[in-house]
Structure 1
Amino acid sequence: MAACAVEAAAPRHAAARQARKRTRVVAMGTTDDYEGACCLGEGAFGAVVMARHRGTGRAVAMKYLREPGGGGGHAALLQEACFLEACAGNPFVVGFHGLARDPATAELCLVMDCAGQSLHDALLGQRHPLPEDTVRAAMWQLLTGAKRMHGGHIIHRDIKPANILVGGDQIVRFCDLGLAVCMAEPPPYKAAGTMWYMAPEMLLGKPDYDALVDVWSLGCVMAELIGGDALFQGIDYEDQLCEIFGVLGVPDDATWPWFSATAFAAGMPELEKQRRRCKGSVLRCVFPESKLSEEGFDLLSGLLTCNPDKRLTAAAALRHPWFSKIQSQEVPKKEEAVSPLPKRPRRHAVCAT
């Protein structure tokens, strides 16, 4: 079963946006500078193709979007371009070259580094459990990348193996910021992302969630790296919450006071029976010490904490003893210098974030 991505943009408040507006200039090139395109993936959202820059021979990935009714998705592409531009210099976010326009159709696309296969595809071909050291290295990179994103006031909102690229350089990178939101925009925020990786507060309709929803998603990714399958596989929001509580235990006023006031808790009297029947979390049964060390399990538990007030931040997770063996690992200083798109004069797209 595959989980579906649900797109919901945060509301825009004009006055607040004007007060916070920062202008970013995104390079605008032309698709004529690329050749040999072949499709890497296609879906209802649009398509991603691989091509080569005529001048440099460098392979790139070009993302095209479709809007319902046949539109080109230009507004969504511009927004994603702004988020990618804001992440420039983060070695754990896919490198961004700018926008390119097809002179014949005026269709826009994002031009990014071709940074390897998705983690989802890599796990499909994995016959044996990943060594804990491999999981540790991947999680250190992902949490470091998330810390930098969150420091730039960006919430990804759709972190999952399909949106993580695994490069031949053994570096993992976030991609697809199409559902990202800027925390400078005030709440309320709507649910956005892929249900199996959504944090409980988002599933419950909390309107003022924050970057900790990404941390929950990273906990789900860590669990999948260890176990090979998505940990929580609900069929709708209610069932997803039941899946989560079936493993982690039903929250009570001591663990998450806000939960008991939600419509979900009020409408599910059987939760109290489940709470009495199942005494707390069974996560350790799912990931015994033969699969995950005590320190690794403590980190996983900190990421997969239902109450966001008690959940680890990305910065706090990176200070966990589980990472002590790789704290000396160097963060790549920067991505390779990006070659200019066309050599001819360019126009620029101006984005406000």
Structure 2
Amino acid sequence: MASPENALMQEASQMKDHTLPPTTEPSQRFSKDLNLGMFEVNQFRTLAKGKFSRIYHAKDRETGLEYALKTMRKTDLILGRVEEQARGSFKIQSEMDHPNVLRVFGQFEGKYEDESYIYILMELSKKGSLYDLMKQNIGLPEPQAAKLVAQLAKALKHIHGKNILHRDINPENILIGSDGEVKVSGFIWSKPMVDGHCSGLCGLLDYLAPEMLNGAENYDTMIDVWCLGVLTFELLAGKAPFEDDMLMTQKRIKNLDMEVPSSVSAEATDLIHKILVLDPRKRLSLEEIQQHPWILMHN
């Protein structure tokens, strides 16, 4: 199982579900300036802790609707040289409009105990992260896994259609909604493509594509497809395909040193082998993944 070091949010499954009435649609409610006084923030209900952020349960004082409030101390962001990425992640995520991408409703700044903070108001995931689900179930049933993979393929297609590479698809950055649907989050390393390409090394080691590890100056949407293949393997096998110590994991990725467990069906194994291909040009596209027999069989 990939470590949860860069998880951004894990929600409690018991959280009360509030349906948004038409009159309190967040895009209307939050068209005015946001401020911390609009919310009851439960500092004792920390949903997650990250290196540069904490996420709390927050309730709108006017409507009673519940949200996740991400808080980032500006000093930490500046010292970590990630302030630009933090601000950019909100801009990128706010442009997404898909049921399988976590919604963000606003970003604002404020002070708390003489410290300056950046706040991001987000959709409250109802059932935690995919990482949580995978910890509870080592190896998901194939029908359930196939549905999740299909939803992720749709979400990635939407993200790529906005000219964005996510670059950090992993179980910690995928949340579970009230109906069991996936919600892609964790856009801090996401980046607009230039002529269909990006550059730079980022993401969880277990999920890094070989071309990124090999120092490719330009890579494309196939790095997110690779991550989806790694995730498909982990959903079914209960562990990442190249999981090892740091140096061995890099070596195994570059050599495609993996073995799909015999407990995984032939159809699912076929999909994994057609996604986890060293040459990105030979990997299945997101459209081809959606049309693969294993996906169609369970959706």
Quick check: TM above 0.5?
yes
* Matched residue, 2:214: 204
| Kept in 2: contact 1:45–1:67 (CA 8 A) | no
TM-score normalised by L of structure 2: 0.81
Report matched runs for 1:23-102 at 5 Å.
28-37=33-42, 38-66=45-73, 71=78, 74-87=83-96, 89-102=97-110
1:287 corresponds to 2:261? yes
1:119 to 2:130 alignment: yes
Residue 27 of structure 2 corresponds to which residue in structure 1? none
* Deviation readout 1:233-277 (Å, 9 max, x if unpaired): 2433x432322356x35xxxxxxxxxxxxxxxxxxxxxxxxxxxx
Does the C-alpha gap of structure 1 residues 144 and 188 become closer, same or farther in structure 2, counting only changes over 3 Å? closer
Indicate conservation of the 8 Å contact 2:145/2:235, yes or no: yes
List runs of 5+ in structure 2 lacking aligned partners: 7-29
Task: Return the letter of the residue paired with 1:36.
Answer: V
**Inter-partner Cα distance in structure 2 for 1:36 and 1:188:** 38
The Cα shift of 1:4 comes to 5.4
CA distance in 2, matches of 1:317, 1:70: 37
More relative contact order, 1 or 2 (CA 8 Å, 6+ apart): 1
Q: Secondary structure at the match of 1:98?
A: strand
Q: Is the 8 A contact 2:73 2:118 kept in 1?
A: no
Q: Is the 8 A contact 2:73 2:117 kept in 1?
A: no
Report the structure number with the largest CA radius of gyration: 1
Q: Aligned in 2, Cα 1:188/1:137: closer, same or farther, shift over 3 Å?
A: closer
The answer on whether the counterparts of 1:3 and 1:194 sit within 8 Å (CA) in structure 2 is: no
Partner of 2:289: 317
User: Residue 57 of structure 2 aligns to a residue in which SS?
Assistant: strand
How far apart are the structure 2 equivalents of 1:103 and 1:47? 15
User: Any idea what SS the aligned residue of 2:282 has?
Assistant: coil
How far apart, in 2, do the equivalents of 1:138 and 1:70 lie?
A: 33
Q: Secondary structure at 1:117's aligned position in 2? A: coil
Aligned to 1:148: 158
Matched AA of 1:93: V
Alpha-carbon distance, 1:165 to partner: 0.4
Q: Which residue is 2:175 aligned to?
A: 165
Structure 1 residue 244 corresponds to structure 2 residue 253: yes
Question: In structure 2, what is the Cα distance between the partners aligned to 1:69 and 1:35?
Answer: 24
Q: State how far apart, in whole Å, the 2-side matches of 1:112 and 1:43 are.
A: 16
Alignment partners' CA distance in 2, 1:211 and 1:226: 24
Q: Does the Cα contact within 8 Å between 1:4 and 1:195 map onto a contact in 2?
A: no
Go from structure 1 to structure 2 and tell me whether the alpha carbon gap of 1:212 and 1:67 turns closer, same or farther (over 3 Å shift): farther
State the number of aligned residues: 267
Q: Partners in 1 of 2:143 and 2:179 — Cα distance?
A: 16
**1:29 partner SS:** coil
SS of alignment partner, residue 56 of structure 1: coil
Distance 1:166 1:186, change over 3 A: closer
Any idea what SS the aligned residue of 1:65 has?
Answer: strand
Please report how far the alpha carbon of residue 71 of structure 1 lies from its aligned counterpart in structure 2 after TM superposition.
4.2
Q: Does structure 2 retain, via aligned residues, the 8 Å contact 1:219–1:300?
A: yes
Q: Which consecutive residues of structure 1, in runs of 5 or more, have no partner in the other structure?
A: 6-25, 250-281, 328-353
RMSD of aligned Cα (Å)? 2.5
208-217 or 102-111, which moves further after superposition? 102-111
Q: SS at 1:298's partner residue? A: helix
TM-score by length of 1: 0.69
**Fraction of identical pairs, as percent:** 28
Amino acid across the alignment from 1:230 = A
Whole-Å separation in 2 of the counterparts to 1:66 and 1:102? 10
Structure-1 separation of matches of 2:289 and 2:77 = 43
